[in-house]
Amino acid sequence: MKKYTFPKNFMFGGAAASSQYEGAYDQDKKSLSVADYKIYNPNLNRSDTNHNWLEVSYEEYNDIKNNNKAVFPFRWGIDFYNNYEEDFKLFKQVGINTFRTSISWSRIIPKSDGVVNTKAITHYKKIFDCAKKNNIKLVLTLCHYDYPIWLLEEYNGFLNKEAINKFLEYAKVVLTEFDEYTNYWIGFNEINLTLHSSYTGAGFLIKKNDDNRLEKLYNAVHNQFVAQALCVKLAKEINKNNMMGSMNAAAQTYPYSSNPLDSLANLKSSQINNWFFYEVIANGQYPQYMLNYFIKNNIKLQITNDEINILKNNTVDYITFSYYSSTLNKCKSYTNNDILIESGLSNPHLNSTEWGWNIDPIGLRIFMNELYYRYKKPLMIVENGIGVDEKWDYNKNILNDIYRIEYLKDHLTNMLLAINEDGVNCIGYTIWTAIDLISMSSKEMSKRYGLIYVDLNDYGIGSGERKIKESGKWFKKVADSNGEELWK
């Protein structure tokens, strides 16, 4: 077996998001974001894969606003905002040469008046200077599930086209102020998950029994597409060397069986939940199957001719995605050419995490091939990892997370096979996460993904001390060997 290594100048590192690890929610004039109103539920059912972990309805939001006893974990995170110097030193110790993170919109522009918070600009420059000092490249995401509350309450988020202009105001500030720190940018995090959550994905509220829910979600997604495309244009105007991407949550799926109807179900589900988004951001147009879908489901999109041209002329430079798991699609019924699909089914051939996510490293290779050869744009895997409820062994002073090492090894070897044997152009990989932080889905600190352990519990109680896990030590070996360690 040939032992492949990382390509030249490969970006290899870790990822995080401002809303999940910065903390300091009331520091330096920051205002609140949608993440800051998400509450921790100690009675959650971790294995309930049918629960919509990301959504907050109109009714729930009003209840949360009046709940003085709720636990809001994203408000404290792990206090990276004040511990970034120590954390970057640890990132270097675990072999990270690239760090993908996000900037907090509500920190940069705390109010709808558009006034820039200079304290936030100054502090972010200190953080990014620290990354440069440690020879760590940056990939910066403009919006990672942390829309300002003022955008939600005053504009109803991206359901309102005015949100496009507000996003561009913010993007211009960020792209200009932090131009010297990177050429790699991402507009929106996991843009396709807006269909699963108006609140988390697009910063607006929908009532639980809204008959027009689907139409509102697709209109919000469209407005995000336009904002993303205009951001590509803006980034090039500010710096012709800028590379602007957009990110999807990879939805690798398989038919439930060899029954052709299950294959048809898988095709239709993949088109709607996965490929549609790539078609718009990478090819700049709505595929005909989605236009037919909108007609069939009486979904009316507010699209102008100018917006159609904007999408066509401002596609992304590279494609980024998260990859954690795969699922199965099944045909429940097929009548008069109408197919009813049962999605998200577990694969009996794969193991699963405590949260019900199938572990499928070969699926990553398959997905990379399908994605690259459809769009022929460079790929970057910006999230991949395994969440585990784990605790530091203080008697042995170790966290021996061999399961994470196995997970990462299997996924990274399949990534290298996709690159070297299949010809996929992949320019980078950042593990989710570099360091333990609050889980966006379950709002738990105890669902740990990091190479670095943080001594905090689900209630934010603990010393906050950082310690390198065994996976972090292994990751450093992989980085130093340029990938050769993976084949041992």
H helices of 113-259, in order, are 118-133, 149-155, 162-177, 198-202, 213-238
Which helix (H) or strand (E) segment holds residue 296: the answer is helix 288-296
Give the three-class secondary structure for 365. Answer: helix
Residues 6 or more apart from 305 whose CB is under 8 A from it?
Answer: none
Alpha carbons 63 and 135: distance in angstroms, whole number: 46
In this structure, the chain runs to a length of: 488
- Please check whether residue 87 is in contact with residue 81, taking contact to mean a CB–CB distance below 8 angstroms: no
- Please check whether residue 479 is in contact with residue 96, taking contact to mean a CB–CB distance below 8 angstroms: yes
Among 22, 177, 279, 383, the one annotated catalytic: 383
In eight-state DSSP terms, residue 450 is -
Extract the tokens encoding 312.
């066509």
Give the three-class secondary structure for 297. Answer: coil
Alpha carbons 186 and 141: distance in angstroms, whole number: 5
Rg of the chain's alpha carbons, rounded to an integer?
21
> For 346-478, where are the E strands, in sequence order?
379-383, 388-389, 426-432, 447-448, 452-454, 466-468
- Please check whether residue 203 is in contact with residue 34, taking contact to mean a CB–CB distance below 8 angstroms: yes
Among 22, 177, 190, 444, the one annotated catalytic: 190
Indicate the angle between helix axes 470-480 and 402-420, nearest 10 degrees.
30
153 part of the active site: no
383 part of the active site: yes
Indicate the angle between helix axes 80-93 and 118-133, nearest 10 degrees.
10
Alpha carbons 19 and 13: distance in angstroms, whole number: 19
- Please check whether residue 145 is in contact with residue 103, taking contact to mean a CB–CB distance below 8 angstroms: no
Alpha carbons 73 and 65: distance in angstroms, whole number: 15
Q: Which residues are catalytic?
A: 190, 383
